[in-house]
Amino acid sequence: MSRLAPRVMRRVSGIDHRPQQSSMIVSATSIDGELMRRVITEIIGVPLVASLLLLATAPLAAHTPPKHARLFFIGLDDGSVVESPVRVRMGIEGFGITPAGTTGKRRHQAGHHHLLVDVDQLPDMSQPIPADAQHLHYDNGETEVLLQLSPGRHTLQLLLGDEDHEPQEPPLISKKITITVR
């Protein structure tokens, strides 16, 4: 192990992983411990250890949509005058739609829609989105719904949630529109 290794690892993780590194690698591969340690230190060296540590911390950023991703209503504009039931088409760009509870890699690339109806204050973005008459979950990955609304003015806003109904980091949220139901 080169003398640089401890510094590199501390920079990667913020924690000194030296005591755990060989046991972690051995248990993950089930290869003879002494052989593996020699492979790591003599042949592959620091870059592999550093990448393993990076992989271990990667899930922190895994639910982050790309910067250009956005949510929007299709064919329903701010100021629209409509009749109930209202056809609401929920659009997404730069990120995918997948049912709630999705596992595996896909859950980092997609979420499901939530429609916020007459919500003045956005919910806590670090918690699962509430489920009630004003926070509607589309767990099956729906992108189009018929919404019963009373006559008068209503606001609508879209918020994407992950497999556990929590907003992405940062949240993917649409512009809020106001519509009038005749």
Interface residue list for Cu ion (CB under 5 A): 137, 161, 165
How many Cβ atoms from other residues are within 10 Å of residue 73's Cβ? 20
Least distance from Cu ion to the Cβ atom of residue 21, Å = 39
DSSP classification of residue 6: H
Residue closer to Cu ion by CB (options 154, 165) is: 165
Strand partners, 91: 72
CB of 138 to Cu ion, least distance (A): 7
Spatial separation of the C-alpha atoms in residues 166 and 92, rounded to whole Å: 17
DSSP of 93-125, one letter per residue?
Answer: ESSEE--TT--SGGGGTEEEEEEEES-SSPPPT
Q: 45 vs 123, which CB is nearer to Cu ion?
A: 123
CB of 177 to Cu ion, least distance (A): 20
Which one, 70 or 162, has the nearer CB to Cu ion?
162
Nearest residue (CB) to Cu ion, 108 versus 165: 165
**Smallest Cα–Cα separation from 82: which of 142, 153, 174?**
153
The overall longest dimension of the chain from CA atoms, in Å, is 76
Nearer to Cu ion, 21 or 112 (CB): 112
- Shortest separation between residue 114's beta carbon and Cu ion, angstroms: 5
Distance of closest approach, residue 136 Cβ to Cu ion, in angstroms: 9
